Chain A
Amino acid sequence: MWINMTSKLWGFKNYRLRTKLIVTYVLLTVIPMSLLGYIAYSQYSTSIEEQVGEYIPKILAQANENISNQIREFSNLPDQLYNSDQMVGILRKDSYQNQSSMLQDEFTFNNYLSRNFINGESSDILGVFVLSKNRIFQSTKIPYSNFEGTDYKDIYGQEIELGGEEKFLLPHQTSLQFEGNPPFVLLMKQLTDLENRTNLGTVLIAVDISFLENVIKNLNEEGKAKLWMMDEDGRIIYHTNPELVRSIDSLAVDYPKINGSFRTTKEEQNRLISLNYLDGTGWILAHSILAENLTERTDLVRNATIIIFIVFVLISTVISILLAWNVSSPLHRLTNSMKNVEKGNFDVDLSITTTDEVGILANNFTSMVTEIKELVRKNYQIELKQKEAELYALQSQINPHFMYNTLETIVMSVEEDEKDTVVEMVTLLGRMLRYSISNKEDIVPISDELAHIKDYLRIQKIRFEDKFDFAIHEDKNALRFYTPKFILQPLVENAVKYGMKSGQDGKLEVSVEWLQQANGSYVIVFKVKDNGPGIKPESLEKIQHMLADDPMIKKDSHFGLLNVHARVAMNFGSEYGVKISSLVGEGTEVEIKIPVLVGGSEESQNEIRKN
């Protein structure tokens, strides 16, 4: 069993999150609610039963008290006979000299009974019979039958010893019947001659027990309960159903002998039975009501509870399913996206807008994927740009014009027999070509780049002779650092190309500086300044606009400038790159800002390689 349970629990552990959530939610709702409902209902109905079970016996006891009083009054009635010396005198006689005196006594006695019993205060007396020494004195309110016919002496006896107690003869014990068949009991009491201590006879008083009905009427207002009076053997004396009078309640012998209440537990419809014993007579007043009648109102509560329970369970089930769905569905989508990404598809579309943990996770995932995608693209672009730059640089060197110009200059020098110049030019050209071709490294020491530029400018100076001059300002500190290759050449080329057009003496200044910025960090700044005609503001604006744009966008004109800017910006971020300023007639200044790159340090190596 335990193992079974554990394995089930284990199994549950591996269920899908959605199932787990639904089961947990539903159990968390159903178990407490059903427990609560059940306990509330059972407590409620038990307490109702207890209250009624306590209340009814008290009412019954009260009713019994009234009945007792009534019966005590009836029991005392025969004692009235003792108050009349004449009647006691008649009863004491046991022999007569003649018939007339006997009839005279009978007349007197019957009259007395009529006056004192039948016409007396108690309206519940149907008849009085006094059996004494083979005489019957009697008086009845309504005609009767079957009394004289029976051998009453055997049944009621004259010599019975009741020891001064009264006895009740129940309807089934006598064949006496009154006209109209009213329910009655016979109160039997022995008459003792108190002075002579002899038996005078027996008084039988037929008492209409409708008075019971009056006493216990209020107990059965709704008619749902059964109410009856029975003797100790279960013989029913009075019942709310008159047909049951004289019959025997066969269950009565098993009833607990208590003044109180008990409930049956084994019947199809359980009943709450309350009993109260009537002192003296041994009669039992019993009240029985179906438990379901008692709990009718409780049943309403129960049904309402059940309906509410079901509704709540349904609602909570729906809510729990929705909730589980809400939680699990984004996760599900996230999982799918991850699988896609895993396969290399970076085009994820997670429309998860929530700000909960799943939402944050999804957002992070999305931005991560986006970044990856971006990086991939960037890397690709940078690679491309680098290649472009190399190509450009190569193109510049083998630029037909440049080559032509340079070679022409060399030819002219040969012609003028300027051997030194020829040697120098060829050397310079050769060095430039070597620098361009030896492009194994992406970054080079700034000094190398500067040397390359110097070579270029020397060639140009030799070519233009006095019309062109240049100056290179090197910051000693800056020379310790590195720079991406070929970033200066396009700018210098531009400066030569545009700065030399006006025909005046061109002057070019190249500087490299190691500068501390406002935020304390250091940058390397290259400046290429010419004293050419400058750029018209419209053109300048256009160029600056292009520089500010996404450096990835492919541009046709100003290719060199933009390529440098794009490479720097892509590699190091948008705060780095190319800035251009120009005044018409004054010249143009182009500035490249790059971070401080330490050639040997791993950090910078990594940075470069990463890009």
Chain B
Amino acid sequence: MQALKFIYCLLIALLFVSACNPGFQEQEQYEIIYSMEEEAPQEAAFNRNQQITIAVVPKVANIAYFQAVEEGALEAAEDLGVNILYEGPVFANATQQIEIIKEMIQNNVDAIAVSANDPEELAPVLLQARAKGIKVITWDADTVPEARDFFINMVDPETLGRHLMDILAWNTDEKGEFAILTGALSASNLNEWLYWIQIHQKEYYPEMTLVEVAANDDDPQLAYKLSKDLLKKYPNLKGIIGNSSVGPPAAAKAVKELDRVGEVAVVGLSTPSPMNEHLKDGSAQIVTLWSPKKLGYLTVRLAYNSYKGNDPTDWQEIPEVGKIRMIGDTVIMGEPMDFTKENVDQYDF
């Protein structure tokens, strides 16, 4: 009897001890032991339903180059699911651009990407936009640095300027007179290229002479007229460099019209489509450019990223574009491409 009682006491003691076992408790199927990080932060900051609107403002509306940019921008907008407002002035004119930008600010866009016709004149309105919390970036042509976050340059201006000089030299046996057709004299990118063209000429091509720099304000009609004037004015002219995209087609057309094909080399910056014919019939030799579509695509991508707080970094891999470089606060999209009569068919812009 005593022994039984004793065993009974022992059992109670054991039961008491084993009651501490957590196995008795009701619990989840899985017990988390360790988690390396907190739950991944939801992208709550940006409501998916909220439509982001990015305004892209080119220098001028109706030329092939900026139309190609628009295509790229729209492609990116579709990929990213953002809204694009693409509107440029009829003429490459800062005043009109300012009006358009003001309108964009009124429309409460989230980001503005502008190809500036004038770095100084646009600055106030862009600062105004920034003050309202709108992301401002520039592409193609820069403003003063204070007025924007960063600038998307297509190519390194030095590389491009030197390359433009080179391709002319290849086609003129490195000698003779030449002229340059530029866009607006106020456009900073064009001026930089001009600067490097002249440096390169002085360094490597002493036998070549720059006779005139004519500004056409990206107006095809004006460009054509200026080309003809140059050809008439300088009978010994050996080449024309079109420093902006309306230049080379106008120059080639003028060369053909004045029957100077084979005498005067036409090179420069232009999209392949308007140059296709000219390249093939020899009225133009080489045009060099980047893909404006890619530029448009990249611009929208970077504007979008920037709006989300991710500014571009050096050697960043941009989907569907490739790696970009950063020099200071300037993005370099890539290297210039040369279009010749052999490869011009591969490009559809």
Chain A residues engaging chain B, CB cutoff 8 angstroms: 15-16, 19, 22-23, 26-27, 30-31, 34-35, 38-39, 42, 49-50, 53-54, 57-58, 61, 79, 82, 85, 88-89, 92, 163-165, 192, 194-198, 254-256, 258-266, 272-273, 276
Closest CB of chain B to A322's CB: distance in Å? 16
Closest CB of chain B to A201's CB: distance in Å? 14
List chain B residues, Cβ under 8 A from A57: 34, 36
List chain B residues, Cβ under 8 A from A254: 29-30
CB distance B337 to A195 under 8 Å?
yes
A88 CA to B322 CA in the complex, in Å? 15
Asked if B44 lies at the interface with its beta carbon under 8 angstroms from chain A, I say no
List chain B residues, Cβ under 8 A from A194: 291, 294, 320-322
A54 CA to B37 CA in the complex, in Å? 12
Take A35-B17, A82-B322 as given contacts and tell me if A196 and B32 are in contact as well, using a CB distance cutoff of 8 Å: no
A265 CA to B35 CA in the complex, in Å? 17
| Residue ID in chain B nearest A38 by CB atoms | B17
A456 CA to B2 CA in the complex, in Å? 79
Closest CB of chain A to B320's CB: distance in Å? 4
Closest CB of chain B to A16's CB: distance in Å? 8
Asked if B79 lies at the interface with its beta carbon under 8 angstroms from chain A, I say yes
List chain A residues, Cβ under 8 A from B319: 163-165
**Besides A54-B34, A197-B293, 7 new A-B residue pairs in contact (Cβ under 8 A), listed by A number:** A34-B14, A42-B21, A194-B294, A197-B291, A259-B35, A260-B33, A261-B34
Partner of A38, one of B20, B36, B320: B20
Please choose the segment from B96-104, B117-125, B257-265, B341-349 that sits at the chain A interface, where 4 or more of its residues have CB less than 8 A away: B341-349
Partner of B29, one of A50, A88, A264: A264
Closest CB of chain A to B304's CB: distance in Å? 13
A-B contact pairs, 19 of them (CB 8 A): A19-B6, A23-B5, A30-B14, A53-B33, A57-B34, A85-B343, A163-B79, A163-B319, A164-B79, A194-B322, A197-B75, A197-B291, A197-B293, A258-B39, A261-B34, A262-B30, A265-B30, A272-B33, A276-B36
Asked if B27 lies at the interface with its beta carbon under 8 angstroms from chain A, I say yes
Take A89-B343, A195-B337 as given contacts and tell me if A265 and B29 are in contact as well, using a CB distance cutoff of 8 Å: yes
Asked if B45 lies at the interface with its beta carbon under 8 angstroms from chain A, I say no
CB distance A53 to B321 under 8 Å?
no
CB distance B320 to A192 under 8 Å?
yes
CB distance A164 to B320 under 8 Å?
yes
List chain A residues, Cβ under 8 A from B16: 31
A249 CA to B289 CA in the complex, in Å? 53
Closest CB of chain A to B288's CB: distance in Å? 13
A39 CA to B71 CA in the complex, in Å? 71
CB distance B30 to A196 under 8 Å?
no
| Residue ID in chain B nearest A89 by CB atoms | B346
| Residue ID in chain B nearest A16 by CB atoms | B2
A260 CA to B34 CA in the complex, in Å? 5
| Residue ID in chain B nearest A196 by CB atoms | B348
| Residue ID in chain A nearest B333 by CB atoms | A194
Partner of B5, one of A19, A196, A198: A19
Contacting A at CB under 8 A, from B296-329, are 297, 319-322
A164 CA to B322 CA in the complex, in Å? 10
